[in-house]
Structure 1
Amino acid sequence: MSIKKTISTQSAPPAVGPYAQGTQALGLAFCSGQLPIDPATGEVPAGIEAQTHQSLANVAAVLAAAGASMGSVLKTTVFLKDMKDFPVMNGIYASYFPGEPPARSTIEVARLPRDVLVEVEAIALTCADGVAS
């Protein structure tokens, strides 16, 4: 019996390589980096605003499939193609974490898959005191 469980949902884009949308173990959910791909159409919206919303919506969908929520996120990593987009991304990001925000790293990268502008990954609790978040 494995202590690790694969997280999979049709509400987020499917994994396109040898990785899972997420995994969970020991009360934690690990969400793979989510690109701003609309799971219904496979399309990437234009602009940092729409892409940030879509990436975070995809993170939320993967976490929900694990019994977690944005409110139970402990740590995120945001990958940006251009740090000039940080203020816009940061404002949108803040709206997804209105209470206590998680720890976060933001990294500028040379290139992301499908030439998107942003990618977000997260680690969250799947339960707190035995109650799903």
Structure 2
Amino acid sequence: MQADTKAAPGRKLISSGSEFEAIYNYSRAVVVGNQVMVSGTTGYDYATGELPVGAAAQAEKLFGNLEAALVKAGGSLADTVRVRIYISSPDAYEDVMQAYARAFAGVSPACTTVEAKLFDPAIFVEIDLDAILNARA
């Protein structure tokens, strides 16, 4: 967890250990009450700094990164209520959505997918999401 003396009481800041979080001063996720907002997350391996090759491999690693953030927040992917997916090309759509379908089987959160120019041409997908802890239907 990041140390932040400016954080409002009742906010829990979650870090993945990504160098980008430290450089640009943001949290992987912020927990307020039972709500969790997870920042845009990619398929980087935060321990090694390596990015898997290809949309399918990146999507699989990305969902692992999202799950890790949610576990640190006290939840899991099953608590997800809203997902926003940004893909670099329509060619990545099927690989990303197959990984999405596996990650959210039985959860079915609200979801939007858009094509966007991502900050690194090697990145095929980035996802941010919102979750509500312990609010499963």
Helix, strand or coil at the partner of 2:102: helix
Which residue of 2 is the match for residue 85 of structure 1? 92
The number of residues matched between the two structures is 127
Distance, in Å, in 2 between the alignment partners of 1:73 and 1:89 is: 17
Which residue of 2 is the match for residue 41 of structure 1? 48
Which deviates more, 40-49 or 1-10? 1-10
Contact 2:36/2:133, CA 8 A, preserved across alignment:
yes
Percent of matched pairs sharing the same residue: 26
Counterpart residue identity of residue 17, structure 1: Y
Distance, in Å, in 2 between the alignment partners of 1:25 and 1:113 is: 30
Structure 2 CA distance for partners of 1:85 and 1:23, relative to 1, 3 Å: same
Which deviates more, 47-56 or 109-118? 109-118
Match of 2:80 among 73, 79, 97: 73
Which residue of 2 is the match for residue 7 of structure 1? 14
Structure 1 residue 5: deviation in Å?
A: 1.6
Helix, strand or coil at the partner of 2:98: helix
Could you state the TM-score of these two structures normalised by the residue count of structure 1? Answer: 0.86
Q: Which runs of 5+ in 1 are unaligned?
A: none
Could you state the TM-score of these two structures normalised by the residue count of structure 2? Answer: 0.84
Match of 2:131 among 110, 113, 124: 124
Structure 1 residue 73: deviation in Å?
A: 0.3
Supply the RMSD in Å over aligned alpha carbons: 1.8
Structure 1 residue 114: deviation in Å?
A: 6.2
Counterpart residue identity of residue 30, structure 1: M
Which residue of 1 is the match for residue 4 of structure 2? none
